[in-house]
Amino acid sequence: MTALIELDGITKVLKGQEQPRTILDGVGLTVNAGQSVAIVGRSGSGKSTLLSVIGLFDRPDSGSYRLDGQEIAKLPERRAAKLRSSHFGFVFQRFFLLKHLTAAQNVAMALVNGQGWLPRRQRRSLVMEALDQVGIAHLAKSRPAKMSGGEQQRVAIARALVRDPKILLADEPTGALDIETGTLVIDALLAATERGCGLILVTHDRDHAARMGQIHDLVDGVLTERVTVR
Ligand SMILES: Nc1ncnc2c1ncn2[C@@H]1O[C@H](COP(=O)(O)OP(=O)(O)O)[C@@H](O)[C@H]1O
Ligand SMILES: [Mg+2]
């Protein structure tokens, strides 16, 4: 089986200011279809930088990055942008929903950017399927102001899922939520892995991390897999 994501010796150095600083230091990581990975580490340890590199918003300075078996560490930006939209769904701590649009309209926005307008019926069925996958189909016509934080985050997850990504990248998606609604958000992310999606979750929450198939600690840019006894 080809790994979805295979990082090997990924290094990212920040130049500028005074001295160059190594933000990612020889990171290796393999994620297969349907696998879930937690990345845990202190603030400033490089977690968001790592997700940016994986999600092709940023490039490594050295190392190898194979996506679906293809080496892409040095891909030109136009091709990287294509892979970014065809392969990845992003979820952030802030939901970034448009206030004046309903849940369904917010999710539909993801279809506009990527592929132009699909026929209305097809669009509607994809949107409703994505909302259903995160358990909030009944909120399709609600606006964000009427929803809880956890519901708003699930709209954001539906928006990431509607384009059928191969990998979800979630950067502290429960950071602004209480424990109970946070758990529902993690449920929605894990449900996607059951349909074959890969998941990389950055989190401070031990309980959420413990639900992932692998846990990796990032300390000063060095990533180490935690060996868990189950
Ligand atoms: N664009 C940038 N310019 C300057 N410093 C940055 C930039 N991006 C990240 N950093 C620095 O890189 C380090 C890692 O940041 P980040 O990946 O956001 O960590 P984390 O997500 O684990 O909190 C931090 O010290 C941060 O200040
Ligand atoms: Mg961060």
**pLDDT tens digits for range 71-115:** 999 999 999 999 999 999 999 999 999 999 999 999 999 987 555
Atom of ligand 1 nearest to the CA of 51: 17
Provide the pLDDT for residue 62. 96
Closest among 107, 92, 105, 109 to 57, alpha carbons compared: 92
Closest among 147, 45, 73, 50 to 106, alpha carbons compared: 147
Domains of the chain, CATH where assigned: 5-226 (3.40.50.300)
Whose CA is closest to atom 24 on ligand 1?
44
Q: Encoding tokens for residue 165?
A: 């990504």
Closest among 204, 230, 199, 207 to 217, alpha carbons compared: 204
Whether 12 is in the pocket of ligand 1, judged by its Cβ within 6 Å, is no
Q: What is the pLDDT of residues 128-165, one digit of tens each?
A: 999 999 999 999 999 999 999 999 999 999 999 999 99
Whether 20 is in the pocket of ligand 1, judged by its Cβ within 6 Å, is no
**Torsion from C-alpha of 80, 86, 88, 93, nearest 10 degrees:** 100
Whether 203 is in the pocket of ligand 1, judged by its Cβ within 6 Å, is no
- Distance, first Cα to last Cα, the chain: 25
Q: Encoding tokens for residue 136?
A: 């909030």
Element (H, E) at 63: strand 62-67
Model confidence at 226: pLDDT above 60: yes
